[in-house]
Structure 1
């Protein structure tokens, strides 16, 4: 077992001591696999301590959210958007978008997430897919070091509406942006326009509302020369 996977299991057991991870092929992109929560043994009441830990440190990185799946599918269908480019996956989570970018010809891919556990998840999933990517836990440090970011990918980063102002900051530091989101239906941010959509379900199934299965893809031109 690779060290990254061992680390990921250790972090999962901090939140859910009896939980397991399972190698899961993505329905929309079956060539891409992720280590996701095995929900077959989770159909039971959680203890008060488990509930407390889940609320304080939810293991969101062992789910694959709908927007990440749609982003990976879009990259597969339109590989020219990443080919030979320096790509940053902002708020990478499980790393699904970063893995897709690396798979379809990006020159460099950097998975960026403020959560150290998400970085561990990205590493374990990159190893599972035999993909080489780079990692950063500090976006603002990253943009100081990298002057040639061609494309920023952002999937499911608007779960908190306080993140919306970040979209303007992203434009300042790259040449173009692709964003996929299922939370905000009428995004009104200068420079961003919707151009595609798709449907996917969080894996393992978590959200029962159909509205969160509808994903919109937005594009924006960056302001970096």
Structure 2
């Protein structure tokens, strides 16, 4: 069972940590997330080391992913009838929201095998069908839209902005860490608001999610 495999991986990092099917605020979606109710304590040095070496980021719904999911629910024209790839999918929240909003095909793409297992479990939880990929650059240039949430957490990742348009005609990027990038193909659409779940008590600035859109230019 995918959920049990995820639980086993989480338990190996943090013994008493548990996953639960958490409802996401202001959506009709749920995700298997880390249950914060039994985690109100300091981590041991060994736990901290393991978490830093293999962070279970798939067990969180990051603010940008939640904001993008809400946006697609309110503006389904972005994905309706389109072929969509969710880059760096993590929990799969953006791809699941795209499938719910009427995308004709959604591929969840992530390098981490556990993240892809989380995407499978969360797709089942929300009664949607996804495809799965562990190599973005092995995908054909056939997508109408690339969704990107919480990937530009480091400015070293900014060159990816060009790569997104190598596999899709358009890209929709949501990010709360690097919000002020300047790229000739990407135009800002506005600022959304969301928080990471479970709540990491992050600074308020990380609850402000900038949304950008790009269209590949014809040759």
Using structure 1 for the length normalisation, give the TM-score: 0.94
The answer to whether the 8 A contact 1:35-1:62 is kept is: yes
Write the mapping of 1:65-80 to structure 2, written as runs, cut at 5 A.
65-80=62-77
CA distance in 1, matches of 2:216, 2:66: 23
Q: Among 205, 213, 216, which residue is 1:219 paired with?
A: 213
Tell me which residue corresponds to 2:185: 191
Moved over 3 A (4+): none
Residue 143 of structure 2 aligns to a residue whose secondary structure is coil
Q: Choose 128-137 or 12-21, whichever is displaced more.
A: 12-21
Q: Secondary structure at the match of 1:92?
A: coil
**CA separation of 1:47/1:196 partners in 2, compared to 1, >3 Å: closer, same or farther?**
same
Partner of 1:97: 94
Question: C-alpha separation between the residues in 2 aligned to 1:180 and 1:192?
Answer: 12
SS at match of 1:190: coil
Match of 1:106 among 86, 89, 103: 103
Q: How many residues align?
A: 219
- Structure 1 residue 28: deviation in Å? 2.4
1:223 deviates by 4.3
> 1:42 is matched with which residue: 15, 39, 43?
39
The SS at the match of 1:76 is helix
Structure 1's unaligned 5+ residue stretches are: none
Q: Judging changes above 3 Å, is the alpha-carbon distance between structure 1 residues 223 and 195 closer, same or farther for their aligned structure 2 residues?
A: same
Say if 1:171 and 1:223, in contact at 8 Å, map to a contact too. no
Moved more, 103-112 or 170-179: 170-179
**What's the offset of the Cα at 1:114?**
0.9
Task: Tell me what 1:173 maps to.
Answer: 167
Unaligned runs of 5+ in 2: none
Contact 1:171 1:224 in 2 (8 A): no
Q: Is the 8 A contact 1:196 1:216 kept in 2?
A: yes
8 Å Cα contact 2:31/2:122 also seen in 1: yes
Q: Which residue of 2 aligns with 1:61?
A: 58
What residue number does 2:143 align with?
Answer: 149
Q: CA RMSD in A?
A: 1.3
Pair 1:22 & 2:5 matched:
no
1:160, distance to aligned residue in structure 2 (A)? 2.1
Separation in 2, partners of 1:170, 1:207: 31
- Tell me the secondary structure at the aligned position of residue 196 of structure 2: coil
Task: Give the superposition deviation at 1:95.
Answer: 0.3
Q: In structure 2, do the counterparts of structure 1 residues 224 and 49 end up closer, same or farther at CA, with 3 Å as the change threshold?
A: farther
TM-score scaled to structure 2, two decimals? Answer: 0.96
1:152: how far off? 0.2
Q: CA deviation at 1:13?
A: 1.4
- SS state at 2:212 partner: strand
Measured in 2, the distance between the counterparts of 1:38 and 1:110 equals 27
